[in-house]
Amino acid sequence: MSKIPAYYGFWHHLGSWLLKTSSWLVLLFLILPILVIIPLSFNVEPFFSFTEGMLTLQPEAFSLRWYEAIFSDTKWTLAIKNSFLIGIFATLIATVLGTCAAVGLARDDMPARRLITALLLSPMIVPLIITAAGMFFFYSDLGLAGNYLGVIIAHAALGTPFVIITVTATLTGFDYSLARAALNLGATPLRVFFDIIMPLIRPGVISGALFAFITSFDEVVVILFMAGPQQRTIPRQMFSGLREQINPSILAIATLLILVSIALLVTIELLRRRAERLRGVERID
């Protein structure tokens, strides 16, 4: 409805004006709460609200003290290190297993596909509190609670559904005669996978990996139940900060996390365009 046709009357104009206004209000509702954090993180006072000095833009009302506070506090630096360490290893496991499974699930001759897909996607649907409670009992019995291995495995399980979804999406319309041709020409199945299938589904694999990473990076419930003090991650540290002593260093770390999400968003968007271009090329063939 980009252009309003000339035969539209008054009510149409009013209607489209209302639609536009309400849409913009919703967009503001979505984005403003996130943007508000950024200036607040430079507050020189230990408050969560704008001071008069900030509103009148006096330079002395702003400072980097909360950013310094983060990087000089070993709790936060350990949390940052843990978040990346756990996220990266969980992503590796989730991506390898998820990609492999998606390739199988996309084949026409996959038995019990619907049931297996529903089962493999269930970590995304089951409430985290239930997953965390179950994992806490089970992993403690195996000696996997309170160490890195347990947390990494748990996060890998939570990340796999996203890899399956994104890779399956790039596999729809995948031309299996390419793989068969390679097999006929004498390539081993492994080589077919890496040389033929992999390049075509790479955008899906990478965006799946990013989803798996953000899932782990953002996850806090399982960490709350299973991780020991040595495995505290950024969200875990934020959670206790918000519960115990609220101060703007949380806003500083939140601002840094917003930058991370902007970077991820841009990467995903570029990958999506690339995937569309690749699929476009396929259609021409």
Partner 1 sequence: MSSLTTLEAGQAANARNKKRLTAFLFVVPLLVFILITFVAPIASMLWRSVHHPIVAELIPQTLSELQRWDGKSTPDRQTLQTFAVELHKLNAERLSGKLAEEFNRAYTGMSSVVKASARRVGRLSESQLQAEGAETLLKAHKNWEKPQLWFAIQRAGQVYTYDYYLTALDLEIHPEQGIQVREDTQIYVQLYTKTLNMALVITLLCALLGYPLAYYLSGLPENRANLLMVLVLLPFWTSLLVRTTAWIALLQTNGVINSFLLGIGVIGQPYEMLYTSFATVVAMTHILLPFMILPLYSVMRGIDPSYLRAAMSLGAKPLPAFARIYFPMTLPGLSAGALLVFIISVGYYITPALVGGTDGQMISNIIAFHMQRSNNWELAAALGSLLLGLILLLYWVYDRFVGASNIKLG
3-state secondary structure of 48: coil
Can you tell me which of 69, 78, 97, 187 binds partner 1, judged by CB under 8 A?
A: 97
149 binds partner 1 per the rule CB under 8 A:
no
Distance in angstroms (rounded) separating the CA atoms of residues 207 and 275: 10
Site for partner 1 in 170-209 (CB under 8 A): none
Q: Which is nearer to partner 1, 64 or 246 (CB)?
A: 246
78 binds partner 1 per the rule CB under 8 A:
no
Cβ atoms 38, 58 nearer than 8 A? no
List the structure tokens of 240.
């206790």
DSSP for 139-173, written as a single string: HHHTT-TTSHHHHHHHHHHHHHHHHHHHHHHHHTT
Piece of 59-67, 72-80, 109-117, 180-188 that binds partner 1 (CB under 8 A): 109-117
Distance in angstroms (rounded) separating the CA atoms of residues 158 and 29: 29
284 binds partner 1 per the rule CB under 8 A:
no
30 binds partner 1 per the rule CB under 8 A:
yes
283 binds partner 1 per the rule CB under 8 A:
no
Piece of 62-70, 72-80, 247-255, 277-285 that binds partner 1 (CB under 8 A): 247-255
Q: Which is nearer to partner 1, 29 or 284 (CB)?
A: 29
Can you tell me which of 90, 91, 159, 160 binds partner 1, judged by CB under 8 A?
A: 160
Piece of 10-18, 57-65, 67-75, 274-282 that binds partner 1 (CB under 8 A): 10-18
Q: Which is nearer to partner 1, 105 or 278 (CB)?
A: 105
H/E segment holding residue 280: helix 249-284
List the structure tokens of 87.
């996220």
Other residues' Cβ atoms within 10 Å of the Cβ of residue 273: 11
List the structure tokens of 148.
């890195």
Buried b (16+ CB within 10 A) or exposed e, 105-132: bbeeeeeeeeeebeebeebeeeebeebb
117 binds partner 1 per the rule CB under 8 A:
yes
CB of 185 to partner 1, least distance (A): 18
61 binds partner 1 per the rule CB under 8 A:
no
Piece of 66-74, 179-187, 230-238, 276-284 that binds partner 1 (CB under 8 A): 230-238
